[in-house]
Amino acid sequence: MLKDLLERRECFKLVCGAGNEDASEVEKLVAIYSKAGCNFFDVCAKPEIVDAAKRGIAHSGILEDRYLCVSVGIDGDPHITKAKIDFDRCISCGACYKICEHEAILNDSRYEIKKERCLGCGQCSKICPQQAIEMESQLINYNEVLPQLIEKNIDCIEFHAISENEKDVDEKWAQINEIYDGMLCISLDRSELGDKNLKERVRRMVEFREPFSTIIQADGIAMSGNDDELGTTLQAVATAQLFQNANLPVYIMMSGGTNTKSTELAKHCGVYPHCIAIGSFARKIVKKYLQNDNLLTDEKLFLEAVEIAKKLIDISLENMSD
Ligand code: SF4
Ligand code: SF4
Q: Can you name the residues that pair with 135 across neighbouring β-strands?
A: 83
Pairing of strands 40-44, 156-160: unpaired
Q: Which ligand is nearest to the CA of 104?
A: 2
Secondary structure (3-state) at 46:
coil
Ligand 1 centre to CA of 135 (Å) is 14
Residue nearest to atom 8 of ligand 2 (CA): 118
Are residues 217 and 91 located together in one domain of the fold? no
How many structural domains is the chain composed of?
A: 2
Distance between Cα 135 and ligand 2 center (Å): 9
The pLDDT of residue 78 is 79
Residue-level pLDDT at 49? 97
Q: Same domain for 63 and 98?
A: no
Q: What's the angle, vertex CA 180, arms to CA 179 and CA 185, rounded to 5?
A: 125
pLDDT of residue 225: 62
Question: How many angstroms is it from 95 CA to the middle of ligand 1?
Answer: 6
C-beta 113 within 6 A of ligand 2 = yes
Chain-centroid distance of CA 291 in Å reads 20
pLDDT of residue 6: 97
List CB contacts of 63: < 8 A, sequence separation 6 or more: 57
Looking at the CA of residue 223, tell me the nearest atom of ligand 2.
2
How far from 7 is each of 70, 299, 302, 321, CA to CA, in Å? Answer: 21, 34, 31, 11
> Could you tell me the distance, in angstroms and rounded to a whole number, from the CA of residue 83 to the centre of ligand 1?
11
Specify the residue with its C-alpha closest to ligand 2, atom 1: 100
Give residues (CB < 6 A) around ligand 1: 85, 90-96, 111, 128, 130, 132-133
The answer for residues whose C-beta is within 8 angstroms of residue 187's C-beta and 6 or more apart is 71, 79, 158, 159, 160, 161, 162, 217, 219, 255
Same domain for 170 and 246: yes
Chain-centre distance for alpha carbon 6: 17
The values of phi and psi at residue 141, to 5°, are -90, 110
180 and 205 share a domain?
A: yes
CATH number of the domain that residue 16 is part of? 3.20.20.70
Q: What angle do CA 201, 203, 207 make, to 5 degrees?
A: 125
Cβ of 121 below 6 Å from ligand 2: yes
What's the half-sphere exposure (Cβ side, CA atoms, 13 Å) at 115? 8
d(CA 237, CA 265): 7
- What DSSP assignment string belongs to 176-240? HHHH--SEEEEEE-SSSS-HHHHHHHHHHHHTTSPTT-EEEEEESSTT-TTS--HHHHHHHHHHH
* Host H or E run for residue 40: strand 40-44
Ligand 1 atom nearest 124 alpha carbon: 1
Q: Are residues 147 and 111 in the same domain?
A: no
Nearest ligand 2 atom to the CA of 135 is: 3
Nearest CA to ligand 1 atom 1: 128
Using the 3D structure, point to which of 120, 137, 154 is the last residue of a domain.
137
> How far is C-alpha 317 from the geometric centre of its chain's CA atoms?
18
State the pLDDT at residue 139. Answer: 86
Ligand nearest to the CA of 17: 2
Is 164 found in the same domain as 106?
A: no
Instruction: Examine the domain organization and report whether 123 and 153 are in the same domain.
Output: no
Ligand 2 centroid to 159 CA: how many Å? 22
Contact 128, 97 (CB under 8 A): no
The contacts of residue 152 (CB under 8 Å, 6+ apart) are 47, 50, 51, 54
Structural contact between residues 264 and 289, judged by C-beta atoms closer than 8 angstroms: no
What is the predicted pLDDT for the residue at 231? 81
Clarify whether residues 120 and 244 are in a common domain.
Answer: no
- Domain edge (last residue) among 118, 137, 156: 137
Domain end point (choices 113, 137, 161): 137
Note the pLDDT of residue 109.
87
Ligand 1 center from residue 123 Cα (angstroms): 12
Residues 43 and 167 in one domain: yes
Cα of 134 from ligand 2 centre, angstroms: 11
* Three state DSSP letters for 238-274: HHHHHHHHHCCCCEEEEECCCCCCHHHHHHHCCCCCC
pLDDT in tens, the chain (322 residues): 999 999 999 999 999 988 899 999 999 999 999 999 999 999 999 999 999 999 999 999 999 999 999 999 888 787 889 999 999 999 999 999 999 988 999 998 899 999 989 999 899 999 999 999 999 988 889 999 999 999 999 999 999 998 888 999 999 999 999 999 999 999 998 877 888 989 999 999 999 999 999 999 998 877 666 678 888 888 999 999 999 999 999 999 999 889 999 999 999 999 999 999 999 999 999 999 999 999 999 999 999 999 999 999 999 999 887 6
* 128 in the same domain as 265: no
Distance in angstroms (rounded) separating the CA atoms of residues 187 and 64: 26
Ligand nearest to the CA of 123: 2
Same domain, 224 and 94: no
Q: Residue 154: give the domain boundaries.
A: 2-75+139-318
On whether both 242 and 101 belong to a single domain, the answer is no
- Span from the CA of 82 to the centroid of ligand 2 (angstroms): 7
Q: For residue 126, give the CATH number of its domain.
A: 3.30.70.20
